[in-house]
Chain A
Amino acid sequence: MASLLTNLKTLSNAPGVSGDETAVRRIAIDLIKDHVDEWRVDTMGNVLAVKHARGKARLRVMLDAHLDEIGFMIFGANDDGSLKFRAVGGIDDRILPGKAVLVGPDRIPGVIGVKPIHLLDGEMNVAKIEDLAIDIGAANAGEANNLVTVGQTATFATEFRTWNGAASGKALDDRAGCAVLIEILRGPRLPVEILAAFTVQEEVGLRGAQVAAHTFDPDAAVALDATPANDLPPVIDQDLSPNTRLGHGPAIYVMTRHDLSDPRLVQHFMTTGDALKIPYQIRQPGGGGTNAGGIIPTRSGVPTISVSVPTRYLHSPASLIYVKDVRAVVALVRESVARLTPQVLHRS
């Protein structure tokens, strides 16, 4: 019996750099196929699944989580057998040196090269990604080309771990959202029709979600994602709001850099959380973005809300979350969506 945590572990450990989501897509399909009424893979690689309502559907609601993760693409081999690479999605150059990675479909182990401290002579500059290379232990370019080909992707090699209510691993952005969506699909039928989209290429421009929303043409949508928590140790003693905090429940978005969650949905989710005593927090408005930005302007418009798992160290080799936050996201989204009626979306 697959539990939320085992699913999250399987999803986190699977490779799925933007545009190369096949492995993680298969996992998602396996976990949902016996719990939905229809599913298919669309032209872009999104998994689109439908779970009918209990009784007559009050509304058709799209739930989105993105399959893809940030990672790397191999550009070629250097003469010394190391691999040239570039980032796919937003990665901070400062975190790269010395990190273990897995390259290509065969998961060839490698390390992003770094000069050890023994050999440093006061140089402490941050290397740019262009000046780094992945070392897969090949002795020369020919040997490297036998193992890896140009255009293959690489991910961080971090193994998922969980302890004491915390969990850490790579790609929790957005495998945490995928795990939430899977949990909802594996649960009971709701009074609304659930249109589930496991989408591709979020990290490179919200591309899969635009197409998925066009196909589904839903009455409303929820973008499930992971959002940065900057309640970081050591705690910065400034009178400033953290973006979000771990352990304080689902992060409800009001506004990103460009997009607004529909204010009626924000109110509805807050009311549901209050009524059922499910904790939630308002993510600090401004900055960032989610698939909501791709979904809202689709066709005649889709009222959309973003709800995220607060996550530390996003887009790094090892993000860290609290399991209770993930469970609270499942509860808040499931219960809020179950209580959604046309009246909530009525406008005079």
Chain B
Amino acid sequence: MKELIRKLVESFGPVGFEDEVRALIRAEIKDFADEIRVGKLGDLIAIKKGRSGGQKIMLVAHMDEIGLMVTHVDKRGFLRVAPLGGVFPLYSVGARVRFADGRLGVLETDRREDTSKAPTLDQLYIDVGATSQDDCPVKVGDVAIFHQGLENVGDRLIAKSLDDRIGCAILIETLRRLKQTPHEVYFVFSVQEETTSAGARTTAFSIDPDIAIAVDVTGTGDTPKAQPMAVEMGKGPAIKVRDAGMIADPRVKNWMVQRAEAAKIPYQLEIFRLGTTDVQAVQTVREGVPSGGVVVPARYVHSQVEMIDLADVENTVKLLVELLKKPIVMSNA
């Protein structure tokens, strides 16, 4: 699974430009899905059909990653940028960046009078080694990602875009391992989660699912002087209770907790104040979709050194298979 994760996190897929990731995932799942299609905004939708009597379940992980779009090429060939999703300038200074054609650059900052404060994005520029506006190979509107390979530290992985290629890897692995299910399961690899969740929202409209489950990353409270949060890396997948954009349907949450306990899979409860995920948009589609999430604890989210624990990934796959392989019994909260 690590090689799959490597391929996913090292591919190019900033918000709105997910074609390379979609092609990679399509190749990985083509022998395991009963049907594959592409949504109008670019979501990849793989369907696994179950025996009759099950429910229509939508799992969603997003293909897109945060990135930068060029807004200006100055007279000396330096580039100014606008964010694609939540880019933190503090995490970004000194980063290597890569454009769609493979061209590299470095992200640096203007000389600042007050270095006690974090720079703003307006103070950053990309240097692609150009000597003038005329010989600069990059144009306004071109997009870049952080250029960072996957690294191992013990059982933990460091990479860019683990948010949410790790979710993509988990969906792929779940699809491969799910031999039998009573349900019609839609594995959705969505676009544009980092800005508007327009991909997941519109795909949910086309599927009209009975239940939606986000497979994404969440923050942790286990680093020095972290904002308090009762999620730790390595302690198992986090079952969504609420985040900054939604409250998980309590029946979905309880179903997940019961299945995790029955199968003796470690889990935590996610209450996340700093972000949200695709099912926040899915929840209010059409007549409403009972929604929840199984998310992977990750440190340094939206940086080029996001970190996750492989055991959490494995347990997330196990939990999803447990959830999907049997009929669903939901109790009211």
Which residues of A line the B interface, CB within 8 A? 239-241, 254-255, 258-260, 262-263, 266, 282, 284-287, 293, 296-303, 347-348
Interface residues of B in 40-85 (CB under 8 A from A): 40-42, 69-75, 80, 82-84
Task: Give the distance to chain B from A206, nearest Cβ to Cβ, in Å.
Answer: 12
Of B157-165, B181-189, B192-200, the one contacting chain A is B192-200
The contact of A239 among B16, B75, B141, by CB within 8 Å, is: B75
Q: Could you say which of B74, B75, B140 has the most chain A C-beta atoms within 10 Å of its C-beta?
A: B140
Residues of A within 8 A of B83 (CB): 286
- CB distance A286 to B69 under 8 Å? yes
Does B202 contact A259, Cβ atoms closer than 8 Å?
no
Q: List residues of chain A with CB within 8 A of the CB of B226.
A: none
Of B42, B140, B198, B201, the contact of A284 (CB 8 Å cutoff): B140
Cα distance, A298 to B206, chains bound together (Å): 11
Given A260-B16, A282-B141, A301-B40, A255:B202 Cβ within 8 A: no
Q: Given A260-B192, A260-B195, A296-B41, is A285 in contact with B202 using a C-beta cutoff of 8 Å?
A: no
* A240 partner residues in chain B, CB cutoff 8 A: 72, 74, 80
Rounded to whole angstroms, the CA-CA distance of A287 and B83 in the bound complex is: 10
Cβ A347 vs Cβ B71 within 8 A: no
Q: Which residue of B lies closest to A299 (CB)?
A: B205
User: Which residues B219-252 have CB closer than 8 A to chain A?
Assistant: none
Q: Nearest-CB distance from A281 to chain B (Å)?
A: 10
Q: In the complex the two chains form, is A254's CB within 8 Å of B141's CB?
A: yes
In the assembly, what is the distance between CA of A258 and CA of B202, in Å?
16
Judge whether B15 is part of the interface by a CB distance below 8 angstroms: yes
Given contacts A259-B198, A300-B206, 7 further A-B contacts (CB under 8 A): A241-B80, A254-B69, A260-B15, A263-B16, A285-B69, A285-B70, A286-B83
Number of interface residues, chain B, beta carbon within 8 A = 35
The distance in angstroms between the C-alpha atoms of A143 and B43, with both chains bound, is 61
CA distance A286 to B203 in the complex (A): 26
In the complex, chain A residues whose CB is within 8 Å of the CB of B84: 255
Complex-state Cα separation, A263 to B42, whole angstroms: 11
CB distance from A44 to the nearest CB of B (A): 19
A286 to B, closest residue via Cβ: B82
**Shortest distance in angstroms between B130's beta carbon and chain A's nearest beta carbon?**
14
A284 and B71 contacting across the interface, CB-CB below 8 Å: yes
Chain A residue, CB-CB nearest to B42: A347
**Roughly how many angstroms separate A258 CA and B84 CA in the complex, as a whole number?**
8
Closest chain B residue to A301, Cβ basis: B202
Complex: A347 Cα to B19 Cα, angstroms: 9
B→A interface (CB under 8 Å)? 15-17, 19, 23, 38-42, 69-75, 80, 82-84, 139-141, 192, 195-196, 198-199, 201-203, 205-206, 281
Contact partner of A301 (CB less than 8 A), chosen from B39, B80, B82, is B39
Contact of A285 (CB < 8 Å), options: B19, B141, B203, B281: B141
> Do residues A258 and B199 form an inter-chain contact, with CB atoms below 8 A?
no
Closest residue of chain B to A240 (Cβ to Cβ) is B72
CB distance A300 to B205 under 8 Å?
yes
22 residue pairs bridging A and B, Cβ less than 8 Å apart: A240-B72, A240-B74, A258-B196, A259-B195, A259-B196, A260-B16, A263-B17, A285-B69, A285-B71, A285-B82, A286-B71, A297-B196, A297-B202, A297-B281, A300-B39, A300-B40, A300-B202, A301-B41, A301-B198, A301-B205, A302-B40, A347-B42
A241 to B195 CA separation, bound complex (whole angstroms): 24
> Measured between alpha carbons, how far is A121 from B139 in the docked complex, in Å?
52
Q: Please, how many angstroms separate the alpha-carbon atoms of A302 and B40 in the complex?
A: 7
Inter-chain CA distance A325–B199, complex, in Å, is: 34
Residue of B whose beta carbon sits closest to that of A293: B196
Q: Is the CB of B69 within 8 A of A301?
A: no
Residues in B with CB closer than 8 Å to A303 are 40-41
Contact assessment for A285 and B140 in the assembled complex, using a CB-CB cutoff below 8 Å: yes
**Contact between B23 and A348 (Cβ–Cβ < 8 Å)?**
yes
In the bound complex, residues from chain A placing their C-beta under 8 Å from that of B196 are 258-259, 293, 296-297
User: Considering the complex of A and B, which 10 residue pairs feature the smallest CB-CB distances, nearest first?
Assistant: A286-B82, A301-B202, A301-B40, A260-B16, A241-B72, A301-B41, A300-B206, A254-B141, A297-B198, A239-B74
Complex alpha-carbon distance, A286 and B84, angstroms: 9
> What's the nearest-Cβ distance from chain B to residue A135, in Å?
41
CA distance A260 to B14 in the complex (A): 12
B218 CB to closest chain A CB (Å) equals 22
Q: Which residues of A lie under 8 Å from residue B72 when comparing CB positions?
A: 240-241, 284
* Distance between Cα atoms of A240 and B78 in the complex (Å): 11
Q: Which of A287, A293, A297 has most B Cβ within 10 Å?
A: A297
CB distance from B67 to the nearest CB of A (A): 11
Minimum CB–CB distance for B63 against chain A, Å:
13
Q: How far is the CB of B276 from chain A (nearest CB, A)?
A: 14
Instruction: Please indicate the chain B residues that have their CB under 8 angstroms from the CB of A301 in the complex.
Output: 39-41, 198-199, 201-203, 205-206
Residues B69 and A255 in contact, CB atoms below 8 Å apart: yes
Alpha-carbon separation in the docked complex, A305 to B201 (Å):
19
A241 touches B38 (CB 8 A): no
Q: Chain A residue with minimal CB distance to B85? A: A258
